[in-house]
């Protein structure tokens, strides 16, 4: 058996919805609370979303365990939630990254956000 093609174990606890929509995020320092983000807003495009988090593409490297304030664009159903970077994956040689976030404000908030897109 060729182990190079062995199945990879799924680590996600929640299923993901393949859905692309614009979002914005701000970096949060460890000591600052949810209501007072410190950095400027950066736009991004999500790739998928689930009850536990989302994945987006960024041209900026964001280190693992960084806290973010994530919100939808003003032109879609509005929501805002605190999240933490779980994983980062470089995309080819173009200087872009897939970034996986986990929501930090509980499963109920994630469920509400997901319900906005899964109708």
DSSP of 49-106, one letter per residue?
A: EESSEEEEEESS---TT-EEEEEE-TTSS--EEEEEEEEEEEETTTTEEEEEEEESS-
pTM for this prediction: 0.75
Of the chain, the percentage scoring pLDDT greater than 70 comes to 76
With pLDDT > 90 as the criterion, what percentage of the chain qualifies? 35
């Amino acid at each position: 058996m060729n182990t190079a093609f062995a199945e990879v174990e799924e680590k996600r606890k929640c299923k993901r919805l393949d859905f692309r929509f614009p979002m914005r995020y701000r970096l949060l320092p460890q000591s600052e609370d949810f209501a007072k983000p410190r950095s400027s807003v950066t736009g991004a495009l999500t790739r998928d979303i689930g009850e536990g988090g989302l994945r987006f593409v960024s041209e900026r490297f964001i280190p693992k365990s960084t806290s973010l304030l994530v919100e939808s664009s003003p032109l879609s159903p509005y929501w805002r939630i605190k999240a933490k970077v779980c994983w980062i994956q470089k995309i080819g040689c173009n200087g872009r990254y897939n970034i996986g976030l986990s929501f930090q404000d509980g499963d109920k908030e994630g469920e509400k956000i997901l319900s906005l897109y899964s109708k």
